[in-house]
């Protein structure tokens, strides 16, 4: 049986798709994205994912965080959204807000996830050795959480300026290379760093 979607939703999906492709007016439709979020999540989540990713690439860091929080209010969560939200907060050096977002999240309250991100217990080995299928979906975000835990500790004795932060990002990249992590994950982190610091992509 064919599913008939409301005309309004179809029109908005096309509007959103064109906005992402052209990167034109993408910030102006945030409220509409939230309004249609449940439909997008159910029938076109990839488009919703791409919207948040594109906002990050356009350096709209505050908007990325706000949209992720607004989606959470509708009981919608996704590790990819948290990845770009946490990367946005790292770019703004607002490390403690990462912790605040995690406290409100269903994902990060589970015991299995807590073990992987507890500052007293967590280490990259446990995350990097997750089953590949599980790692692909949650690994990048959990790596960022552990990275933030380290930065919070380091900030007690070290000024976290841009120079220091980019050095630590590349330390993280080197760690991923040492573990022979899938190239697409390394590429994700590489593009994240280059986007934050406006380093031309090769």
Statement to judge: residues 15 and 43 lie in one domain: yes
Instruction: Determine what percent of the chain is predicted with pLDDT higher than 90.
Output: 69
CB-based contact 60:27 (threshold 8 Å): yes
What pLDDT shows up at residue 126?
84
pLDDT > 80? residue 193: yes
Q: Which long-range contacts (CB under 8 A, 24 or more apart) does 16-21 make?
A: 16/40, 16/47, 16/51, 17/47, 20/47, 20/50, 20/51, 20/54
Domain that holds residue 189: 93-202
Domain ends where: 50, 76, 102? 76
User: Does residue 87 form part of some domain?
Assistant: no
Statement to judge: residues 36 and 131 lie in one domain: no
Statement to judge: residues 103 and 202 lie in one domain: yes
pLDDT 10s digits, 100-126: 999 999 999 888 888 888 877 657 888
Whether the predicted model's global pTM rises above the 0.85 cut: yes
User: Does residue 84 form part of some domain?
Assistant: no
**152: its two tokens:** 């919070």
Distance CA 62, CA 144 (A): 18
């Amino acid at each position: 049986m064919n599913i008939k979607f409301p005309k309004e939703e179809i029109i908005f999906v096309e509007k959103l798709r064109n906005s992402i492709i052209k990167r034109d007016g993408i910030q102006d439709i945030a409220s509409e994205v939230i309004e249609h979020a449940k439909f997008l999540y159910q029938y076109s989540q990839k488009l919703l994912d791409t919207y948040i990713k594109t906002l990050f690439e356009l350096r709209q860091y505050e908007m990325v965080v706000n949209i992720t929080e607004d989606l959470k209010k509708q009981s919608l969560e996704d590790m990819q959204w948290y990845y770009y939200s946490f990367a946005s907060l790292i770019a703004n050096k607002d490390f403690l807000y990462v912790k605040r977002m995690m406290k409100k999240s269903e994902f990060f309250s589970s015991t299995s996830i807590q073990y992987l991100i507890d500052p007293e217990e967590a280490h990259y080995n446990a995350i990097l050795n997750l089953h590949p299928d599980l790692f692909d979906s949650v690994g990048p975000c959990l790596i960022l959480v552990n990275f933030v835990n380290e930065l919070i500790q380091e900030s007690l004795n070290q000024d976290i300026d841009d120079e220091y932060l980019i050095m630590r990002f590349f330390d993280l990249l080197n760690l991923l290379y040492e573990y022979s992590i899938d190239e697409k994950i390394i590429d994700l982190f590489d593009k994240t760093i280059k986007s934050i610091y406006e380093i031309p992509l090769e």
